[in-house]
Chains A and B, each alone.
Chain A
Amino acid sequence: MAQEITTNQLRKWLLAYAARIIENEDHLTELDTAIGDADHGVNMRRGMGKLQERLRDEGHSEDVSAFLRSVAMTLISGVGGAAGPLYGTFFLRAATSPTNGSSIDLEQLTQMFRYGLDGLQQRGKAQADDKTMIDTIQPAVEAMEAALAAHQSAAVVLAAARQAAHLGMKHTIEIEARKGRASYLGPHSIGHQDPGATSAYFLFETAAEVFTITGAD
């Protein structure tokens, strides 16, 4: 029987994500000061505060799609800047992926990330190696899909996603920005890790932590 992730586990994942972003606010600010307009840490922290409030509310929907849509709306209004609409789009599209109502299996979790990634690429018009959050999310989703096709366990699939996301995030140090404000710096953007790729990495880091611990076969 495939492992099922309930809406409540998705909620725990996003609470862990919010906490991780808040812990890393200064780090994100530092990265964005080097190649952007220094607002990514503050914007994300503000949005994550709103997300925590929303997720701690009692009475949220048990339906996965409705839950993800509500996360999207919270991020759109709470984060602002370019990251708000981008993360908002990610979860808005993730909310349209197939579910079992109040839970998703591993394949559906992978599809959820795939839907989010496709929406993000369509909205932000960024490709791999443009030095954006795509450089983290795309390899992570591809690693999940490959591990899933190889019939790996949930723990292996999520570890693969985390590892690929980490490599992708580190890869942004080596490349020149072609999208976003950092692209104005051209070659001077090389040598700096992308702040969006960094905040996106924590999605997979916390997913690997939360889902493998709380999931039951």
Chain B
Amino acid sequence: MTKPGSAITQSLRGMALSHPDTIKVHFDPDFVERLAPAPSGKVAVVKGSGSGHEPLPIGYVGLGMLDAACPGPIFTSPSPVQLLAAVHSVDRGGGVLFVVKNYAGGVLNTELTIELALQEGIDARYVLVNDDVSIPKVANRRGLGAATLACKIAGAAAESGYTLDAAVEVTRRAVAASRSMGVGTNVNTLPRNGPGENLADDTIELGVGIHGEPGEVRSVSKGMPEIVDLIVHPILHDLPFASGDRILLLISGMGGTPPLELYLFSEAIHELLAAHNLRVERQLIGNYLTCLGRGGYTISLMRLDDELLQLWDAPVHTPVLHW
């Protein structure tokens, strides 16, 4: 590495070079902004996040999703200096909506940024994402895959001309309709002698966080259906999801799980959801929210209604999501 700056700075340069039609990168303070012009009065949607969760948040910058994203150091919230610089760059007079995963540092820095923005006469609010059902106390629940989903909903609402209040309201509703769980695969969960065989020594770690926070180690001997049961039942019972619900399903690898394994998981989860008469209306599978290179995945379910479905289907043009 001969170029100046940290690995994060270099990675940002790489992102700008890789997606020249979608995003532009600002340095010192570091943030990424969408290239597509935003009309006057549009609500600006901003997401800060510690690095190490890529493509969140930078991969979601663009038309119909985030106006700006601020990457912090690895697993550490960006500073109010970065967040405020992004606000100044993307504010179009319609106010600013921050999507914030529920971690102490992110909340602290966002609340301070909002206080500073308000003092400058810029209206700003935040929506807290706390979808992790592995934490019993709701106030302590961490933000997982619903962060990705909430960014899409908020961005679509803002692009369709929602006011700040209305965009906050629908994004909160999207979060409230979402539940997630992370699982770490400490040992390869792939079948070695065919599915469901020779897995007796294998364990999974149920309820892991996306910063290496430990979960509960469970031994699994019956293959994917058993793993899916352990993960999905707590999600279904928590909301609770009911027969006939329309579902948006997000299966995200944590960065160290091969796509083959994600699809193996997908087969089992579709069977389980069908058995509960839950209709998967829309879905994403791939690396959408990662934990550097660890093995494992997060599963997120959002109960869709007509408005959420319409916002999900609205056009989006970002490095990662585009339709």
* B is bound to A: yes
**Complex interface bits, B102-139 against A, C-beta within 8 A gives 1, otherwise 0:** 00110011011001100000000000000000000000
**In the complex, which of the residues B79, B111, B116 has the most CB atoms of chain A within 10 Å of its own CB atom?**
B79
Q: Which residues of A contact B116 (CB under 8 A)?
A: 92
Give the docked Cα–Cα distance between A85 and B111 (Å). Answer: 9
Would A123 and B80 be within 8 Å (CB), given that A82-B104, A82-B105 are in contact?
no
Contact between A89 and B79, CB atoms less than 8 A apart: no
**Complex interface bits, B83-108 against A, C-beta within 8 A gives 1, otherwise 0:** 00000000000000000000011001
**In the complex, which of the residues A76, A77, A85, A89 has the most CB atoms of chain B within 10 Å of its own CB atom?**
A85
Would A77 and B111 be within 8 Å (CB), given that A82-B104, A82-B105 are in contact?
no
Q: Is B81 at the interface (CB under 8 A from chain A)?
A: yes
Q: Chain B: which residue is nearest A184 at the CB level?
A: B213
Compute the total of residue contacts between A and B using a CB distance below 8 Å. Answer: 31
Contact between B115 and A92, CB atoms less than 8 A apart: yes
Contact between B81 and A85, CB atoms less than 8 A apart: no
Would A77 and B112 be within 8 Å (CB), given that A82-B104, A82-B105 are in contact?
no
Would A85 and B104 be within 8 Å (CB), given that A76-B80, A77-B79, A80-B79 are in contact?
no
Contact between B108 and A88, CB atoms less than 8 A apart: no
Q: Which residues of B contact A80 (CB under 8 A)?
A: 79
Q: Chain A: which residue is nearest B213 at the CB level?
A: A184
How distant is B6 from chain A, measured CB to nearest CB, in Å?
14
Q: Chain B: which residue is nearest A37 at the CB level?
A: B76
Q: Which residues of A contact B76 (CB under 8 A)?
A: 81
Q: Which residues of B contact A86 (CB under 8 A)?
A: 108
How distant is A85 from chain B, measured CB to nearest CB, in Å?
5
Contact between B108 and A123, CB atoms less than 8 A apart: yes
Which of under 10, 10 to 19, 20 to 34, or 35 or more describes the interface residues of A? 10 to 19
**Complex interface bits, A104-131 against B, C-beta within 8 A gives 1, otherwise 0:** 0000000000000000000110000000
Q: Chain B: which residue is nearest A181 at the CB level?
A: B104
A contacts with B: majority SS: helix
Contact between B80 and A124, CB atoms less than 8 A apart: no
How distant is B258 from chain A, measured CB to nearest CB, in Å?
32
Give the docked Cα–Cα distance between A85 and B112 (Å). Answer: 7
Would A76 and B112 be within 8 Å (CB), given that A84-B79, A85-B80, A88-B80 are in contact?
yes
Give the docked Cα–Cα distance between A82 and B112 (Å). Answer: 11
How distant is A133 from chain B, measured CB to nearest CB, in Å?
13
Contact between A88 and B112, CB atoms less than 8 A apart: yes
Q: Which residues of chain A from 15 to 52 have a CB within 8 Å of any chain B CB?
A: none
Give the docked Cα–Cα distance between A126 and B81 (Å). Answer: 24
Give the docked Cα–Cα distance between A92 and B120 (Å). Answer: 13
How distant is B240 from chain A, measured CB to nearest CB, in Å?
30
Pick from B81, B105, B111: contact of A76, CB under 8 Å: B81
Contact between A123 and B104, CB atoms less than 8 A apart: no
Q: Which residues of B contact A123 (CB under 8 A)?
A: 108, 111-112
Pick from A77, A81, A89, A124: contact of B81, CB under 8 Å: A77
Give the docked Cα–Cα distance between A82 and B105 (Å). Answer: 6
**Complex interface bits, B59-97 against A, C-beta within 8 A gives 1, otherwise 0:** 000000000000000001001110000000000000000
Q: Which residues of B contact A76 (CB under 8 A)?
A: 79-81, 112
How distant is B134 from chain A, measured CB to nearest CB, in Å?
16
Given contacts A77-B79, A89-B112, A180-B104, 18 further A-B contacts (CB under 8 A): A76-B80, A76-B112, A82-B105, A82-B108, A84-B79, A84-B80, A85-B79, A85-B80, A85-B109, A85-B112, A86-B108, A88-B112, A89-B115, A92-B112, A92-B115, A92-B116, A123-B108, A123-B111
**Which residues of B are interface residues toward A (Cβ below 8 A)?**
76, 79-81, 104-105, 108-109, 111-112, 115-116
**Which residues of A are interface residues toward B (Cβ below 8 A)?**
76-77, 80-82, 84-86, 88-89, 92, 123-124, 180
Of the A-B pairs whose beta carbons lie under 8 Å apart in the complex, a sample of 29, sorted by A's number, is A76-B79, A76-B80, A76-B81, A77-B79, A77-B81, A80-B79, A81-B76, A82-B104, A82-B105, A82-B108, A84-B79, A84-B80, A85-B79, A85-B80, A85-B108, A85-B109, A85-B112, A86-B108, A88-B80, A88-B112, A89-B112, A89-B115, A92-B112, A92-B115, A92-B116, A123-B108, A123-B111, A123-B112, A180-B104
